[in-house]
């Protein structure tokens, strides 16, 4: 028997968060090795010396983006202890797995590195970042394929809406082009490794700064098979930030429809007595963290 339809709670399908920091890193894959020792601007964090030794290139670039975001938005003194971190790497560890599988075929079980599972799995980038930033809130990986870009946003804003976390770091990473590789795990020498880091805090209507709105269509959205998910823009949020531009015109808004009935919008929200420079963003982050139970700010 099909039960009568029950209305979903009205007005709850849209979630708003404050975007308090962001940075993008685009690097040739060959340059990632140097990042392992110094992934971000000096003085941001002190990393355990071996933390990135076995990490995937995407993990390194994603962490680098976070550290640049911290530096660019003046969050060096903010403690992220109670924050969470979510990461959406795209086809993580493909190159490593090519090599690992060839070794397995040649040498059998003893040829398989014990580092693949802990350091090159979907949970690894967020786990590594939690270690680097001393984050004791939740950490997990999202997606793994081309659709992970939207999945990450959904998972994150749902968590923030509960208002139990002072903030969340989000990290999108991938290689472009995601092209053919040989049996040694080598691909196009011009491959770029990309990382986008965004810090979100629960939305506060009176705050000045970048605001992110995510809407989920409350009506059923028919499933359609994507022709080629690789053609969609994995780094759509970076594109939107770029479209919004540095002008910070009050209430200027840009948006994009994503898959699955999800729409994302970015807005420069303006409070008349608030300043519009980076100081306001930093102060807002600190103020928000202060007002959230359990947050620790060392300032």
Partner 1 sequence: MSHHGGVWITGVGTATPLGHTYAAFADELLAGRSGVDRVTGFDVTDHPSQIGGQVHQVPCPLGDDPDAFSALPRLEQLTRWCCVSALRDAGWWEGRGERRVGLVLGLGAEWLMKWEADTLRGGRTILDPQDGVESLVSRTRHYLGLTGPAVSVSAACASGNYALAQAKQWLELGWVDLCVAGACDMAVRPMSLAGFGNLRALSRRNAEPKAASRPFDKGRDGFVVGEGGAVFVLERAATARRRGAKVYAEVAGFGASSDAFNMVIPSPHPEPAIAAVRQALADAQLNPAEVDYINAHATGTPVGDIAETRVLSTVLGDAVSQVPISSTKSMTGHLLTAAAAVEALACVVAMERSALPPTINLHDPDPECNLCHVANEARPARVKVAVSDSFGFGGSNTCLVLKAV
Distances (CA, A) of 4 to 1, 11, 61, 217, 249: 9, 21, 50, 20, 47
Using CB under 8 A as the binding rule, whether residue 208 contacts partner 1 is answered as no
Backbone φ and ψ of 65, nearest 5°: -60, -40
Give the Cα separation of 95 and 18 in Å (integer): 36
- Give me Rg for the CA atoms of the chain: 20
For partner 1, give the closer residue by CB, 64 or 126: 126
For partner 1, give the closer residue by CB, 76 or 164: 164
The residue from 41, 76, 140, 254 that contacts partner 1 (CB under 8 A) is: 140
SS3 state of residue 72? helix
The residue from 43, 49, 206, 223 that contacts partner 1 (CB under 8 A) is: 223
Touching partner 1, residues 42-81 (CB under 8 A): none
Give the interface segment with partner 1, choosing from 28-36, 69-77, 155-163, 280-288 (CB under 8 A): 155-163
Residue 1-40 contact track with partner 1, rule CB under 8 A, x = bound: xxxxxx-xxx-xx-x-------------------------
C-alpha distance across the termini of the chain, in Å: 60
Question: Which pair of structure tokens corresponds to residue 153?
Answer: 């946003």
Compute how many other C-beta atoms are within 10 angstroms of the C-beta atom of residue 264.
Answer: 20
Using CB under 8 A as the binding rule, whether residue 135 contacts partner 1 is answered as yes
Using CB under 8 A as the binding rule, whether residue 41 contacts partner 1 is answered as no
Using CB under 8 A as the binding rule, whether residue 261 contacts partner 1 is answered as yes
Using CB under 8 A as the binding rule, whether residue 110 contacts partner 1 is answered as yes
Please state the separation of Cα 114 from the chain's center in Å.
27
Cβ neighbors of 55 (< 8 A, separation 6 or more) are: 36, 119, 124, 125, 128
Compute how many other C-beta atoms are within 10 angstroms of the C-beta atom of residue 186.
Answer: 13
Give the interface segment with partner 1, choosing from 32-40, 65-73, 119-127, 270-278 (CB under 8 A): 119-127
Maximum separation of any 2 CA atoms in the chain, in Å: 68
The residue from 43, 109, 205, 272 that contacts partner 1 (CB under 8 A) is: 109
Give the interface segment with partner 1, choosing from 30-38, 70-78, 130-138, 285-293 (CB under 8 A): 130-138
Using CB under 8 A as the binding rule, whether residue 278 contacts partner 1 is answered as no
Residue 231-260 contact track with partner 1, rule CB under 8 A, x = bound: -----------------------------x
């Amino acid at each position: 028997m099909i039960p009568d339809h029950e209305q979903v709670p009205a007005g709850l399908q849209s979630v708003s968060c404050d975007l308090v920091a962001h940075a993008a890193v685009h690097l040739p894959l060959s340059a990632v090795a140097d990042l392992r020792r110094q992934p971000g601007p000096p003085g941001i964090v002190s990393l355990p010396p071996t933390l990135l030794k076995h990490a995937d290139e995407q993990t390194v670039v994603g962490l680098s983006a976070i550290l640049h975001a911290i530096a660019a938005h003046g969050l060096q003194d903010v403690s992220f202890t109670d924050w969470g971190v979510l990461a959406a790497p795209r086809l993580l560890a493909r190159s490593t797995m090519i090599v690992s599988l060839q070794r397995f075929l040649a040498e059998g079980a003893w040829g398989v590195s014990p580092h693949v599972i802990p350091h090159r799995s979907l949970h690894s980038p967020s786990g590594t970042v939690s270690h680097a930033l001393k984050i004791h809130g939740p950490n997990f990986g999202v997606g793994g394929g081309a659709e992970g870009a939207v999945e990450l946003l959904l998972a994150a804003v749902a968590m923030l809406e509960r208002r139990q976390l002072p903030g969340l770091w989000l990290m999108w990473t991938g290689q472009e082009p995601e092209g053919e590789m040989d049996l040694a795990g080598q691909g196009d020498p011009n491959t770029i490794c990309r990382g986008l880091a965004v810090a979100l805090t629960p939305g506060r209507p009176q705050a000045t700064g970048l605001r992110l709105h995510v809407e989920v269509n409350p009506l059923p959205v028919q499933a359609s098979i994507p022709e080629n998910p690789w053609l969609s823009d994995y780094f759509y949020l970076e594109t939107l930030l770029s479209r919004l531009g540095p002008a910070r015109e009050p209430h200027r808004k840009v948006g994009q429809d994503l898959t699955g009935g999800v729409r994302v919008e970015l807005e420069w929200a303006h409070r008349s007595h608030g300043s519009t420079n980076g100081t306001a963003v930093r102060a807002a982050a600190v103020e928000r963290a202060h007002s959230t139970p359990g947050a620790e700010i060392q300032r």
